Structure 1
Amino acid sequence: MEIEELYSRFQVCGTVTTDSRHCPQGSMFIALKGETFNGNAFAAQALAQGCRYAVVDEPEYARGESYILVDDCLQVLQQLANYHRRQLKTPIIGITGTNGKTTTKELVSSVLSKKYKVLFTQGNLNNHIGVPLTLLRLNKEHEMAVVEMGANHPGEIKALVQIAEPDYGLITNVGKAHLLGFGSFEGVIKTKGELYDFLREKGNATIFIQNENSYLNAIAHGLHCVRYGQASGLFVSGKLLSCSPFLAFEWMSERNTYPVQTHLIGAYNLDNALASVAVGKYFDVAPEDICEALSTYMPQNNRSQLVDTGRNKLIVDAYNANPTSMMAALENFRQVQAPHKMVILGDMKELGEASLEEHRKIVGFLDGCRFDRVMLAGPEFKAVASAYEHFDNVDAVKEALEKSKPVGFTILIKGSNSMKLSQLPAYL
């Protein structure tokens, strides 16, 4: 089936699903495969649940007119998304980066929503499946779209930008993450820079860039740069006011100064906030609306959330961790004013041969912090941190917390998502 004919059927359906447990009436089911499942086997169930069509790529599952047989369902999902994007021509801002891309996506979307009807990536659906699913949610009412793109291997951003074809780009930063997949820090820079490469080839493209980031400046040649940062005279200049623990900052533009009190934890979120200010100002969102959007945004999903349990105050940042974000979180926590401070850290995953050395650097930083209590979870930390409490996994941490029952602490909880430290607030 040609993409034009498939698209006409998609237009009749109005929406797609890849989950046979969630089948909006009249939708199109696309049978994807994973390591432990074959979506083709659920096509009949999807039709029974209300889907109009089931797209499959194994002939034995195509059992009637409601089935559409294709060569590769994942490829069809991506082609359909790209074709849909081209038909609507909605302006798209593509966002990637090692740290802060989800928070920045949320902030940018909140700011733009003050003036425009905005579609944006839900949660962290930022991969080869999430990006096309996001694009297929576009409709004629949307005036702009903000699409987050993630990667842990070379070439993945290139593949995603070819699907989304963004008009504008924003790389939050580059840092040491997924080194096992990228091979090196240089591999991280090259892959994130594939967003710039696409826009450069497209021509007359605009990027929003952190002015003081030397790595990004080195690969931004040939692009129109809208600059934000802490230096004076930029498109948007900003200054940290306080972070105890919530970020307060002010931004300056055309001799006017605008103070903002946020619900974001961490001075490292200043750049993410300034990025959203720059995008908002570029697209003529009123300064007062920009400030309101940032002051009312509430972080969720274990991303720098402040939780008051009644016994302790928790800074929960357990969604992800890499050397750059871990060091930034610890540096910020060291500056937080609190009578008793404690950290619970989990291993940073996917660092390859650099893993032990990067964990050793974190432990070295901890040595100079003088926190009241340090609990480290995972084999990588255990191998380099004999001076601190260390545990094999989150269950062992739970047992220790059940016995000691800490009270009156401000506690930073941070680790890679697979360490499951997000389970700990219930024990604190």
Structure 2
Amino acid sequence: MTNTEQLYTLFLQHPLIITDTRKILPGSLFFALKGEKFDANTFAEKAIEAGAAYAIIDNPVYQLNEKYLLVDDVLTALQDLARHHRRQLTIPVIGLTGTNGKTTTKELINSVLSQHFKTQATQGNLNNHIGVPLSILTIDASHEMAVIEMGANHQKEIEFLCGIAQPSHGLITNVGKAHLEGFGGFEGVKKGKGELYDFLKKSENPQVRKSEEQDGSGIAFINRDNPDLIEMEQLRGLQNVVYYGKSSANNLVNGEIIENSPLLTLKWANNHTGKSNLVKTQLTGAYNLDNILAAICIGVYFKLSDEEINKGVEDYQPKNNRSQIMQTATNTLICDYYNANPSSMQVAIENIGKIKADRKVLILGDMFELGDEAAAEHTAIIQKAMETPVDQRIFIGKEFALAGATMDHGPWTMDKNVFFDTAEDAVAALKANPIKNSTILVKGSRGMALERLVELF
């Protein structure tokens, strides 16, 4: 059997990990991870033929020669290798989790820190038990900072990922109603996400600056305006905390939205220097204020200049259908259909209500993984949408259709508020009755595949 030390020696010689034989590069290490419908051990020979230096496998049947390294379990071997690699690093590693805004905040932090440091960050949303170790293993001796995103849909998952990433600094964007089925309700979400605070409190991090105020445990960046995060912090008695928020009182930075039409312009203050700044972003959504302030706060903490921070924020261009603005010939689209949960739905709906536009349309798709709370949460979102000043509302999915059928419709009329069981039904209706000259929010869970609507606008 090949142990972690032996694998690490090979990794230093071949520091490129591949898990997909379609992406093999010469000299890489192929880890034969199992999937729900495949056993990658069967692809090991193909990986070697494609140029991989070694294939790490856990089925001796496929060990053809010395290039096939046998381990007890390939996934565990990958995680152990990443954990061992992390222990060799002496740079700050910022661990990031939360219900909403993780990837946007991670990208903003990366954009800011990259103005001054060589920074490595999680690619895309590789934030699970496979993605986190893969991200850690991309950090090399040239990097001065790392930002690692961690996702979870059940308790103890963040604890496990922290054990691999071992963050010296940490940030929880927020806690909300997502993955309620896996976490066991909202209190379960708070407990699960709070495992990052637990790790920061108990860890001894050589990367943390030592002073009379700091005992060597990790640094937490906390939004002082978020009562859930403040409660979670106080419950754990965190000692090393850096705050940000809308107020200048006791916050390292504070800020406010100056314009949202639909791109955000922010005014923010560096309370260390007393200097105020105006920054124009390429983001939409008032809810992104917290995400931007988090990145600014981390930039100030690591002593970047205000000019570097502003450039990092201004340069960030949203993608992957997260708060992404798309201008068509006749409409302005707010594409936010990468994912959805009750918390992110609420703030997205609030935001379009505040945006300055002549005509506004809501197109909302079902939210997944809500378990027994699905009916109540979809009903609440319908109510929120009805209270929001827009010109048309379209709900797509069986959960919304069921909730809408059982509600008291009150004064609203079905010509402006329509329910469709499927996206296909919505496509057909929108082709027959196209929407023009509107600002349109398109939001729903990834499984609804609402991107197929975009070409209609």
Same fold (TM over 0.5): yes
1:240 aligns with 2:257: yes
Cα distance per residue 1:77-111 (max 9 Å; x no partner): 00001111112333200000001111100000000
- Normalised by the length of structure 1, the TM-score is 0.98
Alignment partner, residue 404 of structure 1? 433
**Which amino acid counterpart does residue 257 of structure 2 have in structure 1?**
L
Q: CA deviation at 1:361?
A: 0.6
Within a 5 Å distance, the mapping from 1:10-29 to structure 2 comes to 10-29=11-30
Which residue matches 2:162? Answer: 161
- Structure-1 residue corresponding to 2:333: 314
Give me the whole-angstrom Cα distance separating, in 2, the residues matched to 1:11 and 1:188: 38
| Alignment partner of 1:208 is 2:225 | no
Per-residue CA distance 1:222-268 (angstroms, 9 max, x = gap): 23110000112311111221211111111112321111111111110
Residue of structure 1 in register with 2:321 after alignment: 302
Gaps spanning 5+ residues in structure 1: where?
none
Match status 1:226 vs 2:242: yes
Write the distance in 1 (CA, Å) between the matches of 2:337 and 2:402. 21
**Conserved 8 A contact 2:71-2:77:** yes
Alpha-carbon deviation of 1:424?
A: 1.6
Alignment of 1:273-292 (within 5 A): 273-292=292-311
Amino acid of the structure 1 residue aligned with 2:78? L
Question: Quick check: 2:260–2:356 contact (8 Å CA) kept in 1?
Answer: no
| SS of aligned partner of 2:23 | coil
Structure 1 residue 370: Cα displacement: 4.2
- Letter paired with 1:27: S
Residue 404 of structure 1 aligns with an amino acid whose one-letter code is: N
Q: Measure the CA separation in 2 of the matches of 1:324 and 1:372.
A: 23
Structure 1 residue corresponding to 2:368, chosen from 349, 354, 370: 349
The alpha carbon displacement at 1:371 in A equals 2.3
Match of 1:190, SS state, is: helix
CA–CA separation in structure 1 for the residues paired with 2:72 and 2:297:
43
For residues 364 and 310 of structure 2, what CA distance do their matches in structure 1 show? 33
Cα RMSD (Å): 1.1
Distance in 1 (CA, whole Å) between partners of 2:55 and 2:315 is 41
| Structure 1 position 64, deviation (Å) | 1.0
Give a deviation string over 1:342-365, Cα, whole Å, max 9, x none.
111100110111111011011111
Whole-angstrom distance in 1 between the partners of 2:48 and 2:81: 20
**Where does structure 2 lack aligned partners over 5 or more consecutive residues?**
205-216, 406-413
CA displacement at 1:218 relative to structure 2? 1.7
SS of structure 2 residue aligned to 1:267: coil
Q: Residue 277 of structure 1: CA displacement?
A: 0.5
- CA drift of 1:423 comes to 2.1
Q: What is the identity, as a one-letter code, of the residue corresponding to 1:194?
A: E
User: Paired residue for 1:392?
Assistant: 421
1:217 is matched with 230
User: Tell me, what secondary structure is at the counterpart of 2:287?
Assistant: helix
Q: Please report how far the alpha carbon of residue 414 of structure 1 lies from its aligned counterpart in structure 2 after TM superposition.
A: 0.2
> Shift of residue 336 of structure 1?
1.1
* Partner residue, 2:99: 98
- 2:266 maps to what in 1? 249
Distance (whole Å) between structure 1 residues aligned to residue 403 and residue 267 of structure 2: 40
What's 2:208 paired with? none
CA distance in 1, matches of 2:195, 2:328: 43
Question: 4+ residue runs of structure 1 moved beyond 3 angstroms?
Answer: none
CA distance in 2 between partners of 1:126 and 1:29 (Å): 20
- In 1, the alpha carbon distance for the partners of 2:239 and 2:370 equals 32
C-alpha distance in 2 between matches for 1:168 and 1:370: 41
Q: CA 1:312–1:141 in structure 2 vs 1: closer, same or farther (change >3 Å)?
A: same
Structure 1 match to 2:387? 368
The number of equivalent residue pairs is 428
Mapped to 1, the partners of 2:364 and 2:254 lie a distance apart of: 33
